[in-house]
Amino acid sequence: MATIQLTAQNFEEIASSAKVMLIDFWASWCGPCRSFAPTFEKVSERFPDIVFAKVDTEAEQALAGSFNIMSIPTLMVVREQFVLYSQAGALPESALVDLIEQALRIDMELLRRETETSLNGTDASATRA
């Protein structure tokens, strides 16, 4: 699947329907962002059931701000509306594939139960998107 442009207008629709979504927060003036773009696109072809989305932080400042993006590129992995990973910096292809495979192995039912328990008691280990 090709990458899609994520905007404030289409975010809710895409996020609510995607089981797994990788979001690349980037800007055209950012060298590391431009270097990471071909890797992100290439890996998207290996995982056709995953939504690979890009947020242009210049055009979508409010959307980037809602995720507290402080530096770019920032990669975020969202599964079933849980943010599983959010880190600034570009990843090499092998690390990106490994990250995706780890995200796919997470027991989401267990994560939901642990999050519910944490929200009712202490702090949550994962946040909802």
Residue 79 bridge partners (DSSP): 20, 82
Retrieve residue 121's tokens.
């008691």
For residues 94 and 109, what is the distance between their CA atoms, to the nearest angstrom?
27
Checking if the pLDDT of 62 tops 70, the result is: yes
- Least confident span in 80-84, 114-118, 121-125: 121-125
Mean pLDDT across 96-108? 94
Checking if the pLDDT of 126 tops 70, the result is: no
Residue 76 sits in a domain whose CATH number is 3.40.30.10
Residue 51 bridge partners (DSSP): 21
Q: Are 47 and 6 in contact (CB under 8 A)?
A: no
Active site residues: 30, 33
Mean pLDDT across 42-63? 96
Nearest alpha-carbon partner for 76 in 55, 94, 46: 55
Checking if the pLDDT of 116 tops 90, the result is: no
Look-up of token digits 């995706």: 100
- Least confident span in 6-10, 16-20, 68-72, 110-114: 110-114
For residues 53 and 2, what is the distance between their CA atoms, to the nearest angstrom?
9
Percent of the chain with pLDDT strictly greater than 70: 92
Task: Say what the pLDDT of residue 76 is.
Answer: 97
Q: Are 126 and 111 in contact (CB under 8 A)?
A: yes
Structural domain including 37 reads 4-128
Task: Say what the pLDDT of residue 42 is.
Answer: 96
Count how many domains the chain has. 1
Checking if the pLDDT of 119 tops 60, the result is: yes
Task: Say what the pLDDT of residue 1 is.
Answer: 56
